[in-house]
Structure 1
Amino acid sequence: MIFSRRARRRAPTSKEQAIAVGELREKLAAAGCTPDEVDVQVQTPHSDVDIRNGSSLDEHRQHLGELAEAGGTRFVVRASARHVAQACDDLAAYGRDVIAHAR
């Protein structure tokens, strides 16, 4: 099962994602592949996190934790900046304020 923004109007719940990841892993194992070698990339409305505009970092971190528990291994982050330099600053802030806390 693939969740697509175009195919669905809402992001899958953590439970729906866990079911889909479980199904994917079963299919991979049945095909003779090692399921743990496959990354599961997730993009949700939280991908558009805007640190400069006061997005709740605690809520965002909790969301990421739920996605990880459901089998997500990678998360898409989109910078909403109008200029490359601003996008770089935003991504650096995301690294400092979100990624560094996950380690």
Structure 2
Amino acid sequence: MLFRALALLTLAVPSAAQASPIGDVLCAPSEELRDRLTLQYGSARQASGLRGREQVMEVWTDQRGDWTMVVRYASGTSCIVAMGEHWTDFGPHDPA
């Protein structure tokens, strides 16, 4: 998981000296980020939902249970906002 996070951080590294890499480092053109998640990491989009008129939230998972939360903007840019392990899909309408 740590290796995956570090590899994804290299998507759009404008400068290693930036003070806060979160906003800049984890964003890339949507197609590039999608290709990286699917082709390099074997992830598939499992869920999505609207977050206003300009944003779609997506959850991507892989066979190992790693998950990535992505916000896709209408501008054509996507950003990774969270990553983790041990994703569990409870199926539709889980009363929890």
With structure 1 as the length reference, what TM-score do the two structures score?
0.25
Pick 1 or 2: higher relative contact order, CA cutoff 8 A, min separation 6.
1
Look at both structures and tell me which one has the larger radius of gyration over its CA atoms: 1
More strand by share: 2
TM-score, length basis structure 2: 0.26
